[in-house]
Amino acid sequence: MEITSAKFVISNSRADMCPEGNLPEYAFIGRSNVGKSSLINMLTNHSKLAMTSSTPGKTLLINHFLINNSWYLVDLPGYGYAQRGKKVMEQIKNIIQHYVLERMQMTCLFVLIDSRLEPQKIDLEFIEWLGENSVPFALVFTKADKQNIVKTQQNVERFLNTLKEQWEELPAYFITSAEKKTGRKEVLDYIDSINKS
């Protein structure tokens, strides 16, 4: 899929204030600093469409971007901000839960995983929760350029093997680098294939 247009539409902190209509939504989520903004900017070919996590006030917002006038790319708040305090953590959790569980238009949730790290409890727990709630999702391993291919493959395999202990079927997954634009075509083609099905 080619991206011919990408427009910021609205930021808000409530799932029920998201855009009306029936366009499919593809949402992106992950731990703070996982590389979500960089990935969104890479996918849409915009250097500053998604604001980085250092932008003040950004953490509590759901951001909708209209792509090719036919689907929304949704930037969700990052999870796992331990340093933000309990109250903010609760607020973030509520926003995520409402959006993920109640937003009928959400077609696939892309869960970002840092390809440099061994499987992290917080990511595994989040994925388990998605499974319990039958939420459609795919995995995106980020920052693949930060180490050699062998190391990336090892980390990805470790992650998938951990999931295999609980899941009969593995989700779709993508290995990406915002820096090198790796995986861009694969993620966009995956979205395209769901949109056409």
Residues that bind ligand GDP (CB under 6 A): 30, 32-38, 52-53, 78, 142-143, 145-146, 177-179
- Compute the distance between CA of residue 179 and CA of residue 197 in angstroms, rounded to an integer: 31
**Least Cβ distance, residue 176 to ligand GDP (angstroms):** 7
Nearer to ligand GDP, 100 or 182 (CB): 182
**Least Cβ distance, residue 47 to ligand GDP (angstroms):** 12
What amino acid occupies position 85? Answer: G
Nearer to ligand GDP, 35 or 171 (CB): 35
- The token pair at 164 is 């295999």
Nearer to ligand GDP, 18 or 112 (CB): 112
Residue 25: φ, ψ to 5°: -120, 135
Q: Where are the alpha helices (DSSP H) in the chain?
A: 36-44, 86-102, 121-132, 149-164, 184-196
Nearer to ligand GDP, 43 or 67 (CB): 43
Task: Name the burial class of residue 116, with classes exposed (0-12), middle (13-18) and buried (19+) by CB atoms within 10 angstroms of its CB.
Answer: middle
**Least Cβ distance, residue 69 to ligand GDP (angstroms):** 25
Residue written as token pair 């970002």 = 112
**Least Cβ distance, residue 41 to ligand GDP (angstroms):** 8
